[in-house]
Each structure stands twice: as C-alpha cells, then as structure tokens.
Structure 1
Amino acid sequence: MKILLVGEYNRTHRNIKLGLEHLGHSAKVVGLTDGFKKVKVDIEIKNYFETGLLKKIRVALVKLFSFDILGTHLNYQIKSKKQELSNYDVIQFLNEAPFGCDRNNQKKIIDLLIGWNNKPFLLSCGTDFISVDYAMRKKFRYSILTPYLENKGTKKDFLAALSYLTPEHKILHDYIFNTIEGVISNDLDYHIPLIGHPKYLGMIPHAINTSQLDYRSPIINDKIVIFHGINSHNYIKKGNDIFDAALDLIALKYSNKVEIITTTDLPYAEYIERFDKCHILLDQVYAYDQGFNALEAMAKGKVVFTGAEQEWLDYFNLQADTVAINALPNADAVAKKLEWLIINPKKIIEISRNGRDFVEQHHDHINCAKSYLEKWNRDK
C-alpha cells in the first residue's frame, strides 16, 4: 500500500511511517516541521512567516485585511507538489487543522489532497473541535482549558485551542467529518470525547520507535536530577507554572538531595540531550494520558510526571504510581510525589523499568502500524 501522512506533531506520523515501511508498505509524511522542534518530514511545506519581518507582515495583513499570506503561500506550495502528493491508497490527516494557517485555506488544501488520493482518514492528535468542545463543557475533571476557565494566564495563551470553537473552524470540522471514512485517536484525552461518534474507529496509542531510544537504568549516587523542559507557548496550558511552584518547594526542602534542570524551547535533539542525565522528568499536568515526550522519556528510563489518570489505569489495567506519576493540578500534590521519590530512590529504579516495559508493550511503532492498517482496511 501507498500511504500519505499529512501533518506532523513531534514524531507522531514519522514513527507510523517507519512502522509501515518495516511491514513492507510505502509511506510519506508531508507537512511543516512542528515549529522550533524541527521534526524531519519527507515532503516539507515551509512556513516563511514564522519569525522576523515576514511574521510582522503576516500579522499586519491579517489585522488590516483579514488576509493570511501564509495560507495563500501554503496553498501554492501544495499545488506545486501535486505529483508527489497524488495517487496514494490511504491519506491520513494528523489533525483537523494541520497547516497552521487560516481555516479557509486549510479547507482548500485538505480538499485538494482528498481529491488527489483515496480513502481519507483523520487522526485525532492534538486539540480539535470535539475535544475542545468537550473540555469547554467541563466534561473532564480537568483539561488544558481548566486554567482558562479559572482565569489563569491571558486569552492569548488559549487562542490556539479556542480557535477550534470558532465558526470558521466548525465549517472545516463538518467538512472533514462528512468526507473522511473514519477517525482514530491516539490517547485517552482524544479517545474519551469521541466515544459513541458514528465515525470513530477507536484508539491506537502513540507510536514510539523504541529501537532508537536506549534504556538506561537510573544510577543514583549523589543527587536526584529533576528535569523540567518548558515550551513557552504552552506554559500555562501544560501546567508548567504548577511544576515551577512544586520545584520551589522541593528546592527549599531538599537542596542537598536534588539537582533541578529547567530549559525553555529547545529543539528536539538538544532537548533529548539535556534530559538524558535526569532521573525524573516533569512533562504536563492537564492530561489523562501521556503525550509523545513523556513516552519517549519513559522508554529511556525516566520517571515521568504526566497524565496518568484513573481512566488510563483502567484502560491498561495498571496500578497507580507503578509506570508513571499522575501530575495533579496542585503544586503541593506534585511536591509530595516528588518528595516520596526522593525519600524512596529504589522506587525510581522500579518505575523506570516498568515504564520502559509499558512503552514496549503498548506503544511499539510496528504493532501500532499494524493496527492502522487494520482500521484503514476494515471493509476488506
């Protein structure tokens, strides 16, 4: 089979591609390189309006004339690559809005790609209309919109997520769901809102290529190293402010027992290098399940504070605090879990091994690729 994977967050589609290729299929990833993360894609669509003067020109044109020059340019790039982007057996979009421009041009681009290929599918990965609407109606105990609903941060912090509730996006959402053959989710934060939807095909956990992630059992000699990698665009949304407050409490009480490393907006390669020496990694707060960075860290032997809610424990038949640590939206609660690990360093070694085993069992990219093939070919 020939598969076209449209859009990229972290290495979500890249790992699916590698799994498909291992199984003898042909797959290409087309899209932007996920901002500062600079993720490798096969067919790159360039955003020349991301920084500097060109970014200012784009912003001015949008404000003055409601004209998104980025969308127009992305549309042009897609059309210029028609031959490379046509005649695939399956096309899968990573998100309802994978190109980061105005919704009108995104609809035009998606319409072109669907018209050039067969069997369109959607992967619910990242915020979309259904998950944001679910969160806005407070159907989660907490979500990425909890800080917004509690008046934390500024409206600008949540513009990206709230854009999925605009009339412009709803038109795009309805078009996609009327056109695709099915939608697949890749973690519980997107699975739960989709339950019962007529086009929902079920969840396939994030695909992780563990062959490229060496496991190292933690060696704790002197200090326990805690790593906190911040994406400044998502600081409030991911709960980094809560982690910072918890780390202040830990630094005050255990300065002689811990080393704290905090970074901001590192490219992926440097991010991996910087967290390699840590024992504990702080990932995100407002989630029920693990995202990509958390799973890769778990595969490398880190104890990760992330989404690990009861729904996740039930889905995978796990006990709390055995594979990952559920990071609650409360700095004192996070600090107490950190203190528990500092006082009981053997738990770090135990959870580290369990985390690697879990990723290998449930997130192997080749097994995930097999699951995608089954869902794409379900009518055969």
Structure 2
Amino acid sequence: MKVLLFGEYNRAQWNIKHGLKTLGHDAILVSNRDGFKKVDVDIDIIDPYRSFLRKKFRILVKNLTGIDLSAVSIKRQIKSKKELLSNHDIVQFINEAPFDFDRKHQLIIFNWLKDWNKSVFLLSAGLDYPSVSYAFDKKFRYSILTPYFENKGSQKDFSPALSYLTDAHLALHKHIFNHIRGVISNDLDYHIPLINHPKYLGLIPHAIDLSNLTYKTPVIGDKIIIFHGINTYNYYKKGNDIFKTALELVSKKYPSKIEIIIAKNLPYKDYIISFDKAHILLDQVYAYDQGFNALEAMAKGKVVFTGAEQEWLEHYKVKEDSIAINALPDAEKIAKKIEWLILNPEKITEISANARQFVEAHHNHINCAKMYLDIWRKEIDNPTAI
C-alpha cells in the first residue's frame, strides 16, 4: 500500500510511517517540523515567515493587501511537489487545519490532496472541531480550556484553540468530514468527543518506536530527581503553573531530598535526552490520557505525572498509580503524590517497570501500523464509507 501522511505533531505520524515501512508498505511524511520541536519529516514544508521580522512583514502585507505570504509560499511548495504527493492509496491528515493561516487556503490544500489521491482519512491527534467544541461546552470534567474559563493567561494564549470554533473553521470541518472515509483518534482525549459520530472509526493508541528508547532501571540515591519540561507557548494549557506551585510546596517540605530540572522549548532531539537522569517527569495536567511525550518518557522508565484518568484506567483495565500518575488540576494533590514517591522510593522502581511494559504492550509502532492498515482496508472495501 502507498501511504501519504500529511502533517505532524511530535512524532506521531513519523512512527506510523516507520511501522508501515517495516511491514513492507511505501509511506512518506509531509509536514512542517512542528515549530521549535524540529521533528523529522520526509518532505519539509517550510514557512519562510516565522522569524520575528518576517512575521511582522507578513502581517503588514496582509493588512495592506489581504495577501498572506505564508499561505502563498506553502501552497506554491505543495503544488510544486504534486508528482510526489499524488497517486497514493491513502492520505491521512493529522489535523483539520495543519497550517497557521486562513481556513480558505487550507481548504484549497485539502482539496488538492483529496483530488490527487485515492482515499482520505483524518487522524484526530490535537486541536480540532470535535475536541475543542466538546471542551468549550464543558463536557469534560476539565480540559485544555479550563484555564481559559479561569481567566489564566491572555486571549492570545487560547486563540489557536478557539479558532476551531469560528464559522470559517466550522465550514472547513464540515467539508473535510463530507469527503473523508473516516476519522481515527489516538488517545482518549480525542476519542471521547467522537463517540457515536458516524465517521468515527475508533481509537488506535499513539504509535511509539521503542528501538531508540532504552529502558533504564531507576537508580535512587540521596535525592529524587524531578524533571519539568515547559512549552512556553502552551504554558497554561499544559498546567505548568500548577506544576510550578506543586514543586514549590514539595521543595519547602523536602529541600534536601529532591533535585528539580527545568527545561524550556527544547527541540525534540535535545528534549528526549534532557530528562535521562530524572526519576519523575511532569508532563501535563488537563488530560485524561497520555500524549506522545509522556509515553516516550514512560518507555524510558520515568514516573510520569500526566493524564491517567478513570476513563483511561477502565479502558486499559489497569490500577491507579501503577503505570502513570494522574495529574489533577490541583497543586496540593500533585504535591501529595510527589511526597508519596519521595517517602516510598520503591514505588518509583515498580511504576517505572510497569510503565515500560505498558508502552510495549499497547503502543508498539508496528502493531499500531497494523491497526491502521486494518481500518483503512476495511473502509476502502466499504462502498458506503463516504
């Protein structure tokens, strides 16, 4: 099968691609490099207007003429690669709107790729209309929009998420869903809003390539080492302010028993080794399930504070605090969980081993690739899928 994976978050589709290639299929990933993360892609779609001065120039030109130079450049790049981006059996988009410009341009790009190839699927793996509208309607107990409702940060901090609720995006969403074979989610935060949607094909867990993620049994000395990686662009959405307060509480009580490492906005290749010596990793608060970064850290044997809600426990039939620690939006509760690990360091060793086994059992990228192939083939053979 010939597969085009379009768009990327972290390394979600990169790992699917490698799983597909291991199984003997032809797959390529086309995307920008996910901002400062600089993730790997096969064909890099470059926005030449990301630097401060170029961004200012882009805004000036758009205000004066209505022309978005980023959209012009990216559309030109995609059209120039038509031969490479055509005649695939499958195109899978990772997002309804993968670029930072007006939806009308993204509609054109979607239509090109739809027309150049055979069957189109959508992977719900980040912000999109179903997940954002579900969060905005407060159907989750808490979500990435909880800090917005609590007036944390600025309107600009949440404008990327809220853009998925605009009339322009809703029109794009409806058009896409009218033309895709179906939509797949890769964790419970995207699965739950899609339950009972007629185009929903089910959940395939995040695909993790374990070959370069070496597991190391935790060695616990005088101090428990805690790593807090911060994406300043998503500071409140990830609950970093809550983690910060929790660390302050723990530091006051156990100043000689912990070491804290803080890193900000690291490219992926730096990030993945930056927490190697840590025992505990603080990932994110407003989630029900683990995202990509949490799973890679778990595969390396870290005790990760992340999404591990009741829905996740029930879905995977696991016990609370046995594989990952559910990071509730409450600094005192997070601090209490960290304290529990400080006072019971044998739990770090136990959870570490369980975390690796869990990722191996449920997130192996080759097994996940097989699941994509099964769903794609089933829908291709279904004449009523669109």
TM interval, short-chain normalised: over 0.9
Identity %: 63
1:241-265 deviation per Cα after TM superposition (whole angstroms, max 9, x unaligned): 0000000111111110000001110
Matches within 5 A, 1:104-183: 104-183=104-183
**Aligned-partner residue type, residue 34 of structure 1:** D
Q: What's the counterpart of residue 78 of structure 2?
A: 78
* SS of equivalent to 2:201: strand
**Aligned-partner residue type, residue 348 of structure 1:** I
Distance 1:207 1:63 in 2: 41
Asked whether the equivalents of residues 8 and 94 of structure 1 are also in contact (C-alpha less than 8 Å), the reply is: yes
Q: What's the counterpart of residue 39 of structure 2?
A: 39
**Structure 1 pair 165–65 and aligned structure 2 pair: CA distance change class (3 A):** farther
* SS of equivalent to 2:378: coil
Q: What's the counterpart of residue 263 of structure 2?
A: 263
Matches within 5 A, 1:189-208: 189-208=189-208
Normalization by structure 1: what TM-score? 0.99
Asked whether the equivalents of residues 243 and 331 of structure 1 are also in contact (C-alpha less than 8 Å), the reply is: yes
Asked whether the equivalents of residues 210 and 360 of structure 1 are also in contact (C-alpha less than 8 Å), the reply is: yes
Q: What's the counterpart of residue 308 of structure 1?
A: 308
Q: What's the counterpart of residue 295 of structure 2?
A: 295
Pairwise CA distance, 1:64: 4.6
**Structure 1 pair 255–65 and aligned structure 2 pair: CA distance change class (3 A):** farther
**Structure 1 pair 358–157 and aligned structure 2 pair: CA distance change class (3 A):** same
Asked whether the equivalents of residues 31 and 99 of structure 1 are also in contact (C-alpha less than 8 Å), the reply is: no
| Structure 2: runs of 5+ lacking an equivalent | 382-386
Q: Residue 319 in 1 paired to residue 323 in 2? A: no
Superposed structure 1 runs of 4+ greater than 3 Å apart: 61-67
Q: Residue 346 in 1 paired to residue 346 in 2? A: yes
Q: What's the counterpart of residue 211 of structure 2?
A: 211
Number of residue pairs matched by the alignment: 380
Normalization by structure 2: what TM-score? 0.97
Q: What's the counterpart of residue 231 of structure 1?
A: 231
**Structure 1 pair 270–63 and aligned structure 2 pair: CA distance change class (3 A):** same
* SS of equivalent to 1:378: helix
Distance 1:283 1:59 in 2: 34
Pairwise CA distance, 1:100: 2.5
1:48-82 deviation per Cα after TM superposition (whole angstroms, max 9, x unaligned): 11113111112233445543211111111100000
1:183-238 deviation per Cα after TM superposition (whole angstroms, max 9, x unaligned): 00000000000000000000000000011100001000121100000000000010
Pairwise CA distance, 1:99: 2.2
Distance 1:62 1:301 in 2: 48
Matches within 5 A, 1:6-17: 6-17=6-17
* SS of equivalent to 1:367: helix
| Structure 1: runs of 5+ lacking an equivalent | none
1:21-63 deviation per Cα after TM superposition (whole angstroms, max 9, x unaligned): 0100000000100001111101110011111311111223344
